[in-house]
Amino acid sequence: MFDAARIKEHADVIGADGVHVGTVDGVEGDRIKLTKRDSGEGSHAGHHHFIPLALVADIENGRVRLSANADVAVTFEEEQSGVSTE
């Protein structure tokens, strides 16, 4: 297990495949809060999304590497309200 305190604001979050998932805005509880600019378009625009800390594989060179590929990781994202974005 890693130390969540090692996750720094503005760090890139990347999937296991190296694809950008988002940018850290902060850590809240057991979730990484992503910046609003990574929230997508349409009804998802302008909302913070969250990635569960359980998906974090490691922190490498200041980047948060997830255990899932980016396309899978985004299915775990939650909006600020806690409602799934699916």
CA-wise closest residue to 27 among 44, 62, 52: 52
Tokens of 40: 């997508």
The pTM for the full model equals 0.79
Q: Summarize the confidence of residues 43-64 as an average pLDDT.
A: 84
pLDDT in tens, 1-49: 568 889 999 999 999 999 999 999 999 999 999 988 765 544 455 667 8
Could you tell me the CA-to-CA distances from 44 to 12, 16, 19 in Å, in that order?
Answer: 20, 24, 20
pLDDT reported for residue 42: 43
Structural domains in the chain plus CATH codes: 4-79 (3.90.50.10)
> How many CB atoms within 10 Å of residue 13?
23
CA–CA dist 3, 18 (Å, integer): 21
